[in-house]
Amino acid sequence: MLDKKEYQAMKTNLTIYENWSEQFKQPNGWTVIPKAAIPPVRLSNDDRSEIEHYEFFHNPPDKYLLYVNENTSLGTTWTGQKLGRVYFGNAYRSNFGDKRQTINFVGINGKRYHGTYYKDAGNYARIKAYV
């Protein structure tokens, strides 16, 4: 995990990149950066995941979109960094016909969460912290 100084440097780069990319925002909300454009800083998906990992640990959210690895029972960032342990509950079919499953989650931040794992839609779950 990043230390505070590394996090602040990466977060600054992310802010610089996001401010720069605003000029390429389309009316539909998408950001389309031309191939010829040269960003002011380099920021990889791994860098973004490191920031997300740090913030999840140091500033625990009340709600979160979690990626689920059924084989290892881990909850992760979208690039696979471990955020905690998933405990699976009952699976069921929704009114839309897709398969869902209740989950409990214990995060690396010490918080306990509950939510729904959308098995047929992908490998993600929406979770909320227990009060």
Q: What is the pLDDT of residues 43-54, one digit of tens each?
A: 999 999 999 999
Whole-number pLDDT of residue 106: 98
130 with 85, same domain: the answer is yes
> What's the average pLDDT block by block, 10 residues per block, for the chain (131 residues)?
95 97 96 96 95 97 96 96 97 94 97 96 94 84
19 with 73, same domain: the answer is no
70 with 118, same domain: the answer is yes
20 with 81, same domain: the answer is no
Q: What CA–CA distances, in Å, run from 87 to 5, 39, 49, 73, 90?
A: 34, 41, 23, 7, 10
Total domains in the fold of the chain = 2
Domain assignment present for 1: yes
Domain with 21, as residue range(s), is 1-43
69 with 129, same domain: the answer is yes
Largest CA distance in the chain: 50
Domain assignment present for 94: yes
CA 119 – CA 8 distance, rounded (Å) = 35
